[in-house]
């Protein structure tokens, strides 16, 4: 192979490899897309009527507002 022909073949091989890598990365990202939180969240605050219980209630209200 001469210089320009070899260089062209190497560029084509590199382009093919990069295309495959980008396609694989896009497929992996689509499979692992964030579906949001699921299930219940329990916040341990101790006995009712305490400072921590009030804080836990405020926190729970904020979480419900963001993730209804």
Q: Quick: pLDDT tens for 17-39.
A: 767 776 777 776 666 666 667 78
What's the CA angle centered on 11, arms 7 and 15, to 5 degrees?
Answer: 175
Whole-prediction pTM:
0.45
List, in order, residues 6 or more apart from 57 with CB less than 8 Å away. 45
Higher per-residue confidence, 63 vs 32: 63
Higher per-residue confidence, 10 vs 37: 10
Q: Is pLDDT above 60 for 1?
A: no
CA distance 21 to 15: 10
């Amino acid at each position: 192979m001469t210089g320009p022909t070899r260089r062209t073949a190497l560029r084509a091989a590199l382009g093919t490899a990069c295309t495959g890598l980008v396609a694989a990365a896009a497929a992996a990202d689509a499979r692992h897309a964030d579906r949001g939180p699921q299930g219940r969240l329990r916040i341990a605050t101790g006995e009712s009527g305490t400072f921590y219980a009030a804080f836990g209630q405020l926190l729970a209200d904020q979480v419900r507002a963001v993730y209804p």
